[in-house]
Amino acid sequence: ISLYGSNGHTGIDAVALGGQEVYCSQRGIVDFIDTNSRSGLDVRIVSEIGGEKYRHIYEHLLGYMHSVGNRIETGQLVGWCDNTGWSSGNHLHFQVEKWIDGQWIPVDPAPLMANKFAKDILAINNKIKFLFEQIAMLADNIANFLRKR
C-alpha cells in the first residue's frame, strides 16, 4: 500500500490481483474515461458529498463497466484492476479530488472513507428501494379499494 502524501503521491495504491473487481466508493456520474501512459485506463466519477463536489478516480484498470454520463451507485462495479500505465504490478490507484475555486484539487481520501464495504451499501440501498416499491404498491391497492367503495 502506498498512502496519500508520501513523496507527492496524490492517492492510495492498493495491491490487487489482476482482474480483481473495483467497486464505486460513492454514487455519482461517470465524468471521464481515459487511457494514457501514466495512469493507464482510468475512470473518474463526480459525486456530491455534504453539498461539495468531489471526483473519485480509479486508475490502472483492465476494463470498465460504464460510459461517460452514466449514473453509478455506491457498490456498483466500476471495472477491474490491472497493471496499465506506469505501474510496477497489479494494483488500484484510488484518488479523490475536491472542486475548489474552479479546479480539481487532490485531497487525502482516508478521512472520507467509511468502514463499510461498498457492495454492502449497495445491498442496503437495494433493500430500501424494494421496501419503497412495496409501500407504493400497497398505497395503490388501498386507493383502488377505497375508490370502489
Residue 14 and residue 93: Cα distance in Å, rounded? 7
Q: What is the 3-state secondary structure (H, E, C) of 93-115?
A: EEEEEEEECCEEEEECCHHHCCC
Residue 63 and residue 97: Cα distance in Å, rounded? 22
91 is catalytic: yes
| Bridge partners, residue 2, by sequence | 13
C-alpha cell at 18: 489482476
In the set 56, 66, 91, 93, the catalytic residue is: 91
Q: Is 142 helix (H, G, I), strand (E, B) or coil?
A: helix
Are 90 and 82 spatial neighbours (Cβ–Cβ below 8 Å)?
Answer: yes
C-alpha cell at 79: 471495472
Residue 83 and residue 20: Cα distance in Å, rounded? 11
Active site members = 91
